[in-house]
Structure 1
């Protein structure tokens, strides 16, 4: 039986990964800040599917958090066969007027955490010549997005990083997949500080988290390097830079996202 480690596992896409992987009889290590939510999910999944589920309560923005997480997994005696780097945050608004600490926190959580955890767990997978990493990117990765600049740039990093690792590790039997969803059914846009009208727009085109995970696992099983899950609108958004000048795409997103930026 394989073991998957999922960050950001207490809700949203992370919890959906836990549910669907548990249904595949995959043992789990669930990581998030909320102990109550993690424990409730762990109890439910272990009872329903008769699998081993451990929880690690860890804020991954804290200094040395990835080292602490890695050491905890070692102490549990768990060999990680699948790493799901799902944790991340976003922030809406004019970069020059934004909270600097929050922007740096976003870079740390969205990029450095995924890089560090991948670097820590990948050697074991290569040694065993089996395993995989699923990295959560976004359709935002395909274009620069004014008023969402750091988030989009961080997801562009994850996309490029994942596709490079996919190529590097094929011969070792280790598969790496970048997942690029559009808006999903979560609190993400509210938490990121988007104005209400944009939250409403995102809600109208969102993809259920269950669909995101289902499409992701299908792509992972097919050994694809990248997947844009959900409805047709998401591949269309991802393809915009292929049909428009890069300046035109940035200008388009400035119009779409910038109406209320000055009011934030």
Structure 2
């Protein structure tokens, strides 16, 4: 395993205004990559961009975008083309969850979650993947979750969206296997970010909280292996919890997840 340099490449990171997205931006900039920072909160992006530029001498471009709007991926690609920016690495990090019975969730919130967690990921990936493959120096990284490995009562839509992300990314890793592009889905457990503020309860945090730097480092280590795996789970305990549902009866898996999430 060797420490990769991304100097001379550009990484687009969604959800870059805080948490995992901010940490991805910091670690990629540290390794020489220019970064395109995408989120809704432009003020935070501008502050982070200035910090990264002064600290690492790279180019950092803040771009405000609401990924809940249909067509956001194509719009970002078009705007970057107008600015003359070509992306070699795409990090699909933006996403959010909610906690509670599905029948009690606001329909608009469900629609927005699917748009951000699923549709935007697919749109962005389709918009940029041909260029990523043609260049081959970077990576396609999507942030899934340990919630992707079993149904998640009380977080039914969130778990389903992350199962989509995991499945899509692993399939694309196979489709692009003959190219030098590295494709990876990284699945963290609970992370110390603003995620649970948005969810509205700490009851959704099952297990010990990780720091964003640990999760991003796990993704980097997987990318830097001689043969990048299609997916990785960050943290030994999380890997064991993701593996366990494969060997247990489905009814038991559901009951266990329901108790853990206080469904």
TM range (shorter): over 0.9
1:182 is paired with a residue whose SS is coil
1:186 — aligned with what?
193
1:20-74 deviation per Cα after TM superposition (whole angstroms, max 9, x unaligned):
0011010000001111110110000001110011110111112332222111111
What is the CA–CA distance in structure 1 between the aligned matches of 2:46 and 2:137, rounded to whole Å? 29
1:171 is paired with a residue whose SS is coil
1:8 shift after superposition: 0.2
Structural mapping, 1:54-203, within 5 Å? 54-194=61-201, 196=202, 198=203, 202=206
1:219 aligned to which of 219, 222, 231: 222
Q: CA RMSD in A?
A: 1.4
Structure 2: give runs of 5+ residues left out of the alignment. 1-7
2:77 is paired with a residue whose SS is helix
Cα pair 1:130 1:172 within 8 Å, conserved: no
Structure 1 window deviating more from structure 2 (217-226 vs 8-17): it is 217-226
What is the CA–CA distance in structure 1 between the aligned matches of 2:136 and 2:64, rounded to whole Å? 29
Structure 1: give runs of 5+ residues left out of the alignment. none
Cα pair 2:72 2:123 within 8 Å, conserved: no
What is the CA–CA distance in structure 2 between the aligned matches of 1:88 and 1:112, rounded to whole Å? 11
1:6 shift after superposition: 0.1
1:51 — aligned with what?
58
1:246 — aligned with what?
250
1:234 aligned to which of 232, 235, 238: 238
Cα pair 1:81 1:132 within 8 Å, conserved: yes
What is the CA–CA distance in structure 2 between the aligned matches of 1:50 and 1:192, rounded to whole Å? 36
Cα pair 2:9 2:137 within 8 Å, conserved: no
1:172 is paired with a residue whose SS is coil
What is the CA–CA distance in structure 2 between the aligned matches of 1:107 and 1:172, rounded to whole Å? 30
**TM norm structure 2:** 0.93
2:211 — aligned with what?
208
Equivalent residue pairs, number: 254
